[in-house]
Amino acid sequence: MRTVWPPDEIPSSEFDLNAARLLVGGSVAEDEQWSGRVGNLVLLEGGRIGGELEYLLAVRPLADDPVYPVYLQGAKRVKRVLGIPGIDVVEGAPLETAYAWTLSCAAAVNGDLYFKKAIGFKFRCKALKPGRLFSGTSDSSFTRGRNALDGRPLETGVLYYAAERGEAGASASHPKCDLFFLTDDGEELVVIDVTGSASDKTVLRKMEALSKWVTEEQFELKQIERAGADRLDMDQAEAGLAPRKVRGIVLAPFFDVEDFRPSNDAQLSVLLVRSAAARKLLGAVSQVALW
């Protein structure tokens, strides 16, 4: 799927009170924001309504709107990706960038993120920032509770996008996940791996790799909680930074295999969100799949 217009063709910016909700998308029956609106709308999958992508990249919320910084940060990154000649917008970095924009805005607007009806997290997003959970590429380089880019504690209210080699001072690719955040109470670390693949082998491999790491890390966190920092070669301050739980999510918006049966190990600590459910989380950006 190739981009068809460069950022310099996007019209000049203007304000739209409902910019973030137009990005996240919604049902006409559920939200009064659509009342009387006739322009810049598109019909999304499942009968939902959203804004035209070109329009959403051109407008911005009001400056005093809490979603303002997140919206602009996400839009800027999407514009930069779309400006790369010939880039495939439904794979790799572009897809991860799109999810960072829509998920951060959804969390800023709603104060939570639901990946399935009964599976959600309290998370009021206030910023979108680069970050790393690993100082290198191995599992052993996990910097539990700290951002490996600067050594500072992970912040609540921030959706982190994984800084890859050459980005924000990172010197290596980032393993395991593309996005991550702490829940508002700081108790849970949610890690998200994004794939544009439609291959069952690729999706299964990602699930198994993430599940193995999450399961092992969850065991370590329980050890920290039970044994105490002094018996695990950690100081008390370091132990206090560690979340109590780690949750793994794999987003596969173009994986539509009906009879997919992942192994028990793959499902042990990871939630797979795929097909239409994953595309719904892309909000209005999902329209690029039709380009």
98-150 pLDDT, tens digit each:
999 999 999 999 999 999 888 999 999 999 999 999 888 888 888 888 898 88
41 within some domain: no
> Is the confidence at residue 167, as pLDDT, over 80?
no
204 within some domain: yes
Q: In the chain, how many domains are there?
A: 1
109 within some domain: yes
β-bridge partners, 271: 249
Q: How confident is the model at residue 239 (pLDDT cuts 50, 70, 90)?
A: very low
43 within some domain: no
140 within some domain: yes
What residue numbers bound the domain in which 85 lies? 66-291
Minimal CA–CA distance to 59: which of 25, 94, 100, 18?
18
pTM for the model stands at 0.86
149 within some domain: yes
Q: What is the mean pLDDT of residues 214-224?
A: 85
Residue 153 contacts residue 133 (beta carbons within 8 Å):
no
Pairing mode of beta strands 119-122, 127-131: unpaired
